[in-house]
Amino acid sequence: MGTLTGIFLDTGRIDEIRKYHAQGIIRGVTTNPTILSKDGVTGGWSGIEKRCKEIAALISPLPVSVEVTTNDLEGMLDQARKFAAWAGNINVKIPIHGPDGETENLKLVNELEKSHNIRVNVTAMMSAQQCLLAAMAGATYVSIFGGRINNMGYDSRQEVRRLRSLLESFSSPAKIIVGSTREVLNIVEWFEAGADIVTAVPSLLEGMLVHPYSKETVKMFLQDAERLQKG
C-alpha cells in the first residue's frame, strides 16, 4: 500500500476551499478552466490567473492542479510554464494523449518534470496500463477516472489495485489520484483499493460528514440536556 495523502477538493470556488481547508480535511485542490468558468470566474486568462493564485495562496503548501486548455505541444509547454510560475505549489494537468490518440504528450510530461522542474498530473486515464506509462515518463501524479470506468461497466477498484501493485513493483514514487467521483462510497472504496488521493466535489464531502442518525443522536443529546437543566 502507498502512503495515503487524502482528498483533493474538486472546485474553483474560494468559499468552498476556505471552508474545507479550515476544517483540515483536504490535502489539495484540483481545477480546470471549465470548473473555473462554472464557478463564476470571468475576465479570460487574467481572471483564471487571479483565481488560481488566490487558491494557491490560501492552501499553501498543499498542491493545486491546473489543467492546460490546448493539445498543441508548444501551447501546452507555454501554459505549463505560465501556470507553474503563478505559485510554487501549482502543478499542471496534462492529458495522457490527444483527442485523436496523438501520443506526444508523454514526451512533454518527461520534459516538464526533468528539464523544467514542473510537477505534472497526467489526467484523463482509464486504465492501469496508461497510468504505468505516465509514471514511467516521470509524472508526479497519475489520475485514473474511476467513475467513468464504473460507467463503462468495469470495476474501477480492480484497476486501482492493479496500478498500486505495478507502481510498487517498479518502485515508482508516482501518486495515484482517482477522480471522476460519483458517490460517497467511491471515496472510501478507492482508498481501500490503494489510491493515494481521491478527488471530490464539496457535496460529496458533505455526504461523507453528515449522517441522519448522527443528527438524530445530537438532537436527543440536546433535548436530554435541556430537560436536565430544567430540573
Grid look-up 506526444 returns: 104
Our answer to whether residue 93 is catalytic in this structure is yes
CA distance 121 to 92: 6
Out of 38, 53, 93, 219, the active site residue is: 93
- Per-residue CA distances from 200 to 32, 178, 223 (Å): 14, 9, 35
- Per-residue CA distances from 110 to 8, 64, 144, 180 (Å): 24, 20, 19, 25
Residues designated catalytic: 93
